[in-house]
Each structure stands twice: as C-alpha cells, then as structure tokens.
Amino acid sequence: MIAAALAGRADRHPERPLLRSARSSLSFGACQQQAGRLADELRSWAGGRVALAGTTTEWLLPRLAALDALSCRLYLPPQEPSAALDEVSHRHGLDAVLAEVRGAPVTFTRPPVVAPPAAGELVLFSSGTTGTPKAVLQTWPRLARRIRTGAELEGSCWLASYAVTTFAGLQVLLHALLNGATLVVPPSDPGKAAALAREAGVTHVSGTPSFYRLLLARAADADLAALSLRQLTLGGEAAEQALLDALRARFPQARLTQIYASTEMGACFSVQDGLAGFPSEYLRGERDGVRLRIVDGELYVGSAGAMKGYLDGAPLPPGELHPTGDLVGERADRVLFVGRRGTRINVGGSKAQPEEVEAVVREVPGVLAVRVSGAASSLVGQLVRAEVVLDAGVDAAEARRLILARCRERLRPHMVPRLLEFVDELVRTGSGKLRRGRP
C-alpha cells in the first residue's frame, strides 16, 4: 500500500517535498528512487518477516516503501529500546532486521516461535505507555479505513509529531501519501516546532495533548501567530477542556478534531465540537462500523478497523467488543475520560487517578507539564508523587506552595501529591504520549 501510493505520487509530482525536517528535505521522486534502489539491494528478503526499526523519518520512509514493495511481513517495533528489538527477533523468529542504529542489515536463521503474519498484514506495537509494548497484528486495509482524501487535502502540509512506525504515525503517513501532502517532522523540543512549521507553511498539525501543551507554552509568539492552520488533530491522550479552549483561542480559524484511536482498535471516531470527551449518543447503536459501550466504568470498543489480535494471543473476532483500558464517566450527555486502567494509585485503600490530580496541578500558573504516579510506601502502600516541569524563571519554593494549596483546596486529602519533584522534562513515548508506569 505504501509502495504503490508513493510510486503513483512520485510519477505525478516528483519534485514536491514529501518530507521536511530541520535537517533535510526529501521529494516524492527522490524517496521513490531511494526505495527502488533499496528494493533491488534487499531482493532476497522478498516475502520475509522483517523488522524495521529507526528513529529518523527520512531514514525510515524509503525503507518502509522498499520492504512494502517486496511484500515483506513488516514488524515495526518501538524505536527506543534496542532490547525490545532483540526480544522481537527472539520471540517472532524474524528473517531479518533493518535497524538504523546497527547500520548493516542483520539476517537470522531461526524458526519462528509464533505464527508469522500473512500477506497484507503487519505487526505494530502498542505504545507501551503503562508497560511493555504489545505486538499487534494489523492489516493495511484496516489501517487505511478512515483515511480521507479530497481536493482540500491535495498538497497540504502536515506537522507530524508521531514516530512514523507507530499506529498514529502510519495514519499521518498514509494521509500524506494518498493526498500528495508534505510531512514536516518537528524537532524533539515542541517549542522549536512552530518556527519550522511557519517556514514550511504547515496547514495541518497532528499530535498528542502533551505535544500541544508544550507547543503553546514554549513556541515563540510570533511563530504561532504566523501559522495559518486549517486543522489541528489531537489524539493518543485525553484532552482537557482548558487545552481545547487555549487551542481554539490561539487558532480560531482551524478545525479542532479529537481522534479516538489505538493500535489495537484502529481509528474509532472523532469529535469536532471543541468539547472534552464525546457525546453520550455515541454509546448507542453503531457508527461507521464502530460500537462503543461502557462496561464497569471502562470504555469497550468493537470496530471493523480493530486488530486481528495480539500476535501471540487469541484472534479478536471482527467487531467484538474489546476493553480499551480507558476509564470514563458520563456527565450531562457527555462521556468524559477519567484516566487509564492500571495507573490508579492506591493510598491506604483510597484510590487516586493520576489524570485527575494532573488536571488540578496544571491549573497552577507556572506549571508547564506534570506527571503523577504512585510511589511505593511501606506505611500506606502508595503515595501520590508529582513530577513537575516549571516555566523558565519560576521559583520552585513558591510553585510548591501554590501547587499544594491548590490541590488541598480541590482534591481529597489522599489525592494531594505528597512527594513533589521539580524536573527539567518528562519522558514521552515514540507516539508522543507521556510515559506512565515506569518512573
């Protein structure tokens, strides 16, 4: 699918940029040429089980197209830990690994431990926000199920903050390839992304709430004001109303779209009304092949775009309801996200949801980002710990006083952060989400 889309577009407009970053630029034609050369070199891998692991989009894109052209069964492991890559090779008996950090291709001669994917299938990895990433069997047609094409998207320019080998990254890549759009890869500091976006003429931005918070807080005012955006897409984490309001005020002309999607369940639905959560009516019946239900406070999804199953688990029958791990509550005809299952902190038997505490801490002036987690306590099981990134120049002692005062006022006593640390930055996953569960 990637190879065919790239070849078609490279024929029509070889000079148009497919990729821009702070370092380099790659046209549709040049990417296609590179992919062609690579496919020649890697001919012997045709149809094989191949893992592609890298961090640089300009390195990944031609290889993704080449391996796709060779009908390889692709594994796209998480980019960060190389240990995860070794784990993948061991468990799945890969034929080959193409990894950016290792340079030369590596081939294996080991029988597979689990059944390999069939033609048209690929293996993605869940974001691993709260634990070890899980291998997810997806298919190209399911990934492309909700990709929009149209004249208004032709030649658009997308700031894509997701790693291209993640579910969200592939969604943005497919959008770009099928619409002849340019992908702009932002630098790791979202504050510097606005200058690049301005220079490149970005029209669409796609990122997590964590990405947008940093973009708004750190980018130069002149750069943000100079952007003429048609669409802002948020996904991967729950967006709070304050962030949606801030984006609406900053970019009044842009459409604000919240997407609910996951590696396991595919792209499920989107909301465009600028309000946090989604309408309760989505819980009734079926919309575009997607059913949503609340079971015991958790959102369950049945979707035509869902995975075929975890690679080493039982297949997921098409459309069957599957727990998402997202805890939700209903208020006034709206379903609101409360947090993730498994991140709940147990303080002497009283429960605290990290996201609820984070929302309060984030209200304090001078707080740029916050992550709340449970710290082990020999006396009460767990205590609430908050790691906080402050704006430059903010006094930590004063911030500490304000944060504690606000939390005491707004939260029950066991939910008030007991351990408060000020840090320079918080770790995000390849898909741009705040990493949770492993402090």
**Block residue for tokens 């449970």:** 374
C-beta closer to other proteins: residue 314 or 376 = 376
Q: Which of these, 192, 191, 127, lies nearest to 391 by C-alpha position?
A: 191
**Interface residue with other proteins, options 120, 313, 329, 413 (CB under 8 A):** 413
> Do residues 418 and 385 touch, judged by C-beta distance below 8 A?
yes
For the bound state, the minimum distance from the C-beta of residue 331 to other proteins, rounded and expressed in Å, comes to 29
Confirm or reject binding of residue 217 to other proteins (CB under 8 A).
no
- Find the Cα–Cα–Cα–Cα dihedral 394, 395, 401, 402, rounded to 10°: -20
Candidates 65-73, 207-215, 333-341, 369-377 — which segment interacts with other proteins by CB under 8 A?
369-377
Closer CB to other proteins, 88 or 347, in the complex? 347
**CB 344, min distance to other proteins, A:** 17
Q: Which residues of 278-291 are buried (b: 16+ CB within 10 A; e: fewer)?
A: beeebeeeeeebbb
- Residues near other proteins (CB under 8 A), total: 14
Q: Tokens standing for 393?
A: 């120049």
Residue 422 in contact with other proteins, rule: CB under 8 A: no
Query: Judged by CB, which is closer to other proteins: 275, or 404?
Result: 404
Q: Is 204 exposed, middle or buried (0-12, 13-18, 19+ CB in 10 A)?
A: buried
294 binding other proteins? (CB under 8 A): no
Only one of the segments 47-55, 166-174, 192-200, 377-385 lies at the binding site for other proteins (rule: CB under 8 A); that segment is: 377-385
Nearer to other proteins, 194 or 416 (CB): 416
C-alpha torsion sign, points 56, 61, 63, 64? positive
Tell whether residue 439 is a contact of other proteins (CB under 8 A): no
Task: Give residues with Cβ within 8 angstroms of 232, minimum separation 6.
Answer: 204, 205, 212, 247, 251, 254, 255, 256, 257
**CB of 380: closest distance to other proteins in angstroms?**
4
Backbone phi and psi for residue 302, each to the nearest 5 degrees, phi listed first: -120, 125
Task: Write down how long the chain is.
Answer: 439
Determine if 418 is a binding residue for other proteins (CB under 8 A).
yes
Nearer to other proteins, 114 or 380 (CB): 380
Q: For residues 293 and 408, which CB has a smaller minimum distance to other proteins in the complex?
A: 408
Spatial contact of 417 and 357, defined as CB atoms under 8 Å apart: yes
Backbone angles phi, psi at 15, to 5 degrees: -85, -20
Site residues (CB under 8 A) for other proteins, limited to 381-410 = 383, 404
Contacts of 369 (CB under 8 A, 6+ apart): 210, 213, 214, 362, 388, 389, 425, 426, 434
Residue with tokens 């600028």: 274
Among 419, 423, 425, 438, binds other proteins (CB under 8 A): 419
Instruction: Tell me whether residue 304 or residue 380 sits nearer to other proteins (CB atom).
Output: 380
Q: Which of 33, 56, 257, 377 binds other proteins (CB under 8 A)?
A: 377
Quick count: other Cβ atoms within 10 Å of Cβ 346?
A: 13
Site string for other proteins, 309-348 (x = CB under 8 A): --------------------------------------xx
Q: Between residues 306 and 407, which has the closer beta carbon with respect to other proteins? A: 407
Which residue among 249, 314, 379, 392 contacts other proteins (CB under 8 A)?
379
Q: Write down the least CB distance from residue 364 to other proteins, Å.
A: 15
From 304, 380, 394, 426, residue interacting with other proteins (rule: CB under 8 A): 380
Of 205 and 352, nearer to other proteins (C-beta) is: 352
Distance between CA 189 and CA 434 in Å, rounded? 14
Burial class (CB in 10 A: 0-12, 13-18, 19+), 270: middle
DSSP 315: B
Judged by CB under 8 A, the stretch of 165-173, 269-277, 309-317, 371-379 that binds other proteins is 371-379
Tell me if 146 contacts other proteins by CB under 8 A: no
Neighbouring CB atoms inside 10 A of 255's CB total 13
Among 217, 246, 375, 394, binds other proteins (CB under 8 A): 375
Residues that bind other proteins (CB under 8 A): 347-348, 375-380, 383, 404, 413-414, 418-419
